[in-house]
Structure 1
Amino acid sequence: MADERDQLLLELYGLIFSLEEEDLLDTQFMNNYAMKPTHDSTFFLVLVGTFFEEVQDALCDLGSALKDCFVCFADIYVHYTKVKGIVQSFGASAMRQGLEELHCSILGASVQLGKSSCASGFENLRPHLGAITRLECRIIYPERTLAGDSDSDDR
């Protein structure tokens, strides 16, 4: 029985090391495995199950946040850091590239969306600012208003 267990452990370690070489796992994964108190402990199985649940929940939350009518990139970034923390603490380097792409898209999208939002907000505000300026001009320069010389162009 011990020989079979040793053989299975060697196979498991070989698999883990090959996945590390392929950059699908990192050394944190093996550190997590080594935290197992005994060979018959369910600690690592629970850890893997927890990892799956936490990543799925975090990705679901991220997906929901992206579906909102008004995407809040601060919230998206919070979801991103949550997923990143889960991935890093587990040692799942296979997800690292996807996280980097997500991070870049958050940064890029926030710039574009922020720019678009500012431009849209300004366009909505422009006529009101024009009306305010015309009124202010009428207050400051009553003689122009009396002379019919009011400035009617939008600023």
Structure 2
Amino acid sequence: MRLVLQRVRHARVTVEGRVTGQIGPGLLVLAGFAPEDEAGILERMARKLVQLRIFGDEEGRMNRSVQDVGGQVLVVSQFTLLADARKGNRPSYVGAAPPPVAVPLYEAFVQRVEELLGRPVATGEFGADMQVELLNDGPVTIVLDSSEIVK
């Protein structure tokens, strides 16, 4: 599993002209799932996302989490995060979970983040051609890979 977290002032996802998810200050999370992802990985990544201290405190230091600041979260599925572009000029996506595997992982991940935050999480629409608009704050962008997250 791979996540790209972007601290934002606001973000929204549109599919065919309709807004599917929209947030104010918080985190836009692009999420890619691998076939081997399981409940333990989802749990670790959800906790890391909610607890990662990348928001400013009174002194301007990144010392608060999205949970601490009452920020919102928008999670957008993005299989291209698992692309392998080491050879040639066309990325391979064999490392990404196929939709029958990825959809339940995505839904379980969103649900777990909601539980940890104690509030709803906005989403995109799995498998749709989505347009994502955001205003980066900082900018602060962090990549989390489940293979690098300590248990």
Q: State TM-score, norm by structure 1.
A: 0.23
Q: Higher strand share goes to which structure?
A: 2
Please identify the structure whose Cα radius of gyration is greater: 1
Greater RCO, CA 8 A, separation 6+: 2
